[in-house]
Amino acid sequence: LALLKAGADAEDEEGRYARPASATLGALEFERGRIHWPRQWYLGFRRTLRLVEKQLLSSHAHYLMNSPAEIALMFDKPACHRRLSESGVPVPKCLGTVGSFDELRAAMRAKGCARVFVKLAHGSSASGVVAYQTDGVRQRATTTVEVVRRGGRTLLYNSRRIRTHLGAREIAALVDELCRHRAHVERWFPKAGIEGRTFDLRVVVIAGKARQRVVRLSRHPLTNLHLLNGRGSPERVASRMGEAGWADSLDACERVMKVALPRSLYAGVDLAVAPNFRGHSVLEVNAFGDLLPGVLHEGLDTYAAELRAAGLAPETLPAATEAR
C-alpha cells in the first residue's frame, strides 16, 4: 500500500495505464493474492529506489550490492528486454506492449506467430503471466491468474493453481485486464525436455560469474518453483548440451551482468534451452532472484558467495559458517 501511495502522483512517461484515485487507496483493504494496479506499484517502487539512491549520495558508510537504477530496470520487462537485446544477450523475439486482446491477435498475425507469453510489465514470480497459443480457430491460455467478476469489475488474483482457459471470451477478458496495467509480449521460446518434463534454469550470476544453478522441471509452461514444480540435475543438462553448448549458455547469463547490468553485483537469470539442446535464450532477469536455499557453488550458498564477492566476508572462514 505504501508503494501504491508513493506512485499516486509519480510521473508516468507512458501515461495510459490504470491508476486508482487517492480515495480508493485510502479505503483499500487487504485481499490475499489480489493484483492491485501493478503499474502504479512500479511507479512508487521506482520513486522509492530513486529516493534511497539520493539519500545514499550523502553517505559514505554504505555498500550497494545492486544499483537502484538497475533494480528498477529489472522490474520493467519491456525496458529490460530491450537492454538485453542491445547488449547482445539472446532473448525471445518481442512483440512489444499491446493494449488489448484484439491488438495481441493482430500483432501475432503480423509476426506470423502462433504462441506467445503475455506478461505484466512489472510482475514477478509468474504473477500476471499467460502462455497463449492459437491455430487460428482453437485457443488455449495457461496462467496463474484467477479472474473474478465482482460488481461489474474484473479482478485479478495470484494463485499457485495453474488454470487453463479455452474459450475466446474468457481469454479476451483476462488479456484485456492485464493490458490495462501494461503487458509485455514475447514469442514463446520452446523449451527442452528432460526426465519427462520441460525445463528451464535459474542461474545466479555473482560478480560476473554464473554460480548456483537450479533446473526447474514442469508439465506446463510455467516453471517457477513456488508453483510446486520439480528440480532436475544441472549436470544432466550440461551433459546433453555438451561442453561448448553449456559454456555458451552460462556465458549468456554472465553477459547479462557484465554488459547489460554492469553496476549490479548479482541477479537471478532465467535461461531456457532449445529442444535440440543446441540453442538458448534468456527469459528473465530477477533483481532478487538469489533465494535458492541449499543450492551451493564451490561450497557456498548465494548469500555467502555475494558477501565474499563484495569483500564483506573473510576468505579464511569455513564455507559452512559463512552462510550463517
Name the one residue in this structure whose C-alpha cell is 522490474: 75
Using alpha carbons, select from 283, 267, 223 the residue that is nearest to residue 94: 283
143-159 average pLDDT score: 90
Question: Is the distance from CB of 72 to CB of 49 less than 8 angstroms?
Answer: yes
Q: How much is the pTM? A: 0.92
pLDDT (tens digit, 9 = 90+) per residue, 49-102? Answer: 999 999 998 877 788 899 999 999 999 999 999 999 999 999 999 999 999 999
Question: Is the distance from CB of 226 to CB of 263 less than 8 angstroms?
Answer: no
pLDDT (tens digit, 9 = 90+) per residue, 2-43? Answer: 999 999 888 888 878 988 877 788 888 888 999 999 999 999
3-state secondary structure of 168: helix
Read off the pLDDT band of 323 (50, 70, 90). Answer: very low
Dihedral angle, C-alpha 260, 262, 266, 272, nearest 10 °: 20
pLDDT (tens digit, 9 = 90+) per residue, 105-146? Answer: 999 999 999 999 999 999 999 999 999 999 989 999 999 999
Can you tell me the distance from the alpha carbon of 40 to that of 37, in angstroms, rounded to the nearest whole number? 6
- Cell readout for 193 is 525436455
In angstroms, the first-to-last Cα distance of the chain is 32
Read off the pLDDT band of 191 (50, 70, 90). Answer: very high
What angle, 0 to 180 degrees and rounded to 10, lies between the N-to-C axes of helices 101-111 and 168-179? 100
Question: What single-letter DSSP state applies at residue 50?
Answer: H
Kindly tell me the number of DSSP H helices and DSSP E strands found in the chain. 10, 12
- Cell readout for 251 is 556465458
pLDDT confidence of residue 62: 82
